[in-house]
Amino acid sequence: MTAGRTTAGPGALDWTNPLRDPRDKRLPRIAGPCGLVIFGVTGDLSRKKLMPAIYDLANRGLLPPGFALVGFARRDWGSEDFGKVVYEAVRAHARTPFRQDVWDKLAEGFRFVQGTFDDDDAFDRLSHTVRDLDRVRGTGGNHAFYLSIPPAAFPVVCKQLARSGLSAQDGEQWRRVVIEKPFGHDLKSAIELNEIVNEVFPEDSVFRIDHYLGKETVQNVLALRFANQLYEPIWNSHYVDHVQITMAEDIGLGGRAGYYDGIGAARDVIQNHLLQLLAFTAMEEPVSFSSDELRAEKIKVLNATRLVSPLTETTARGQYTGGWQGGELVRGLTEEEGYDPDSRTETFAAITVEVDNRRWAGVPFYLRTGKRLGRRVTEIAVIFKRAPHLPFDATMTEELGQNALVVRVQPDEGVTMRFGSKVPGSQMEVRDVTMDFGYGTAFTEASPEAYERLILDVLLGEPSLFPVNQEVERSWEILDPVIDAWTAADDGPDPYAAGSWGPESSNRMMARTGRTWRRP
């Protein structure tokens, strides 16, 4: 075989051709002609995540040559002013190196429309801008609308998109809407929100962003389970003792009172991120990895998920107090600017659930999240049962814990296995050791940011990683009884010191069944 060619017979693939067999899933998919309109373009999410992700996609050659980006906000900007804002965001936060030629080509498609959400004229100007981009940039009538705005503004924006004709799809053209969490604040509001959005956009055109599902490590849970024979045979109640899913942050909530106070950790994280991580961890193998099959298995798991009672003992909530963290004296939540001194908003939440099916019957899943905890980490820890018989003296294994498989979602993405091994020496002593796989050391290419993957999936019309109505509503059905019980309780969240791992009530929650939290 000569270099760059294959000597195989007729029908063989030419591996030097970047447009080879479309069935080859290893090839990156490039978005077709399209544009993206961002509402809330002046916010932190847009500057720190969305704009840099768009540049990174362009830098990787995954956007069409005529891609268009339109910003909509109240600021008195022209398109050039908007371009400067995008430029500053890209230089400050982009993952890939800055290339002037890529930037110049991308910036040709920037437009800005000034207006408020209740301004009919502004949406009419936006409609004209979109039509002009179809003519000048060749976007083909394909546009996605990213609502990086408070949920209270969704109804008016959706109605304006319908009134101005921006949501109308003609023939092969598509229009899609992207919604950031939170998806309501309880089941009732989630249903109302879904109805409002679906009046304007059909469900297959609605993309609800959960950025955790765009992380490489979350998707690697599926690869770990279903591409290997090693794990799946023991991924069940015969071998698994319990599962801990943790999302911990070491930062406080200063400056976020307008969003967070009255929302709390359970609504902010458990309802979406952690229940989605549970679904990936506990789901059955799908028939294929098509969006319909993947979603079907996730919905089956969520439908089988039940809270463990009594909630006074199987849930915990806390609120951080002032103290020392990382060598810095920090304030408690009620001392942060904008928070009510009597606030009952929890900054730590933990719940216990079980999945009532044949695979997981009797296995508790512990979900916890919190601010101002010991360190920033998100992980899925599958803790296995102890060996039924240990042919050692007790002193030989006194330092031996339970086997564990830990998927680190962030930071330092990877997988760790904990198991027992003999300590070198003349005596028989068994102690825990770890075997570690890290993305950063195993692969030469850096993992893309979650928003890169998710924005590209929106433009491609690939909905696998986006929760649908049924998932959102079922998640609220699971969480609502916890919120109701906490609201009705006479006492508020338990205090915990900044830099700790939560309130003592969370330790009691685990101790009732003889278990303890991992210290990541």
Q: Are 374 and 515 in contact (CB under 8 A)?
A: no
What is the full per-residue pLDDT of the chain (520 aa) written as tens digits?
Answer: 333 333 333 333 333 333 444 444 555 788 889 999 999 888 888 999 999 999 999 999 999 999 999 999 988 888 888 999 999 999 999 999 999 999 999 999 999 999 999 999 999 999 999 999 999 999 999 999 999 888 888 889 999 999 999 999 888 899 999 998 778 889 999 999 899 899 999 998 999 887 777 777 777 888 888 888 888 899 999 999 999 999 999 988 877 766 777 889 999 999 989 999 999 999 999 888 788 888 899 999 999 999 999 999 999 999 999 988 888 889 999 888 888 888 899 999 999 999 999 999 999 999 999 999 999 999 999 999 987 656 555 555 555 678 889 998 888 888 888 866 667 765 666 767 777 887 777 665 666 778 898 999 999 988 877 888 899 999 999 999 999 999 999 898 999 999 999 999 999 999 999 999 998 8
Helices 100-107 and 79-93, packing angle to 10 deg: 150
* pTM of the entire predicted model: 0.86
Give the pLDDT of residue 422.
66
Q: Which residues are catalytic?
A: 273
- The span from the CA of 36 to the CA of 180, in Å, is 15
Give the pLDDT of residue 281.
95
Amino acid in position 343:
S
Peptide bond into 182 cis (omega under 30): yes
Which residues are bridge partners to 318 per DSSP?
Answer: 348, 494
- CATH numbers and ranges of domains, the chain: 35-180 (3.40.50.720), 214-444+467-511 (3.30.360.10)
Q: Are 277 and 399 in contact (CB under 8 A)?
A: no
HSE toward the beta carbon, residue 413, CA cutoff 13 A: 18
Give the closest residue to 160 by CA, choosing from 195, 200, 208, 132: 200
Give the pLDDT of residue 400.
60
**Residues near 420 by beta carbon (within 8 Å), at least 6 away in sequence:** 397, 400, 403, 430, 431, 432, 433
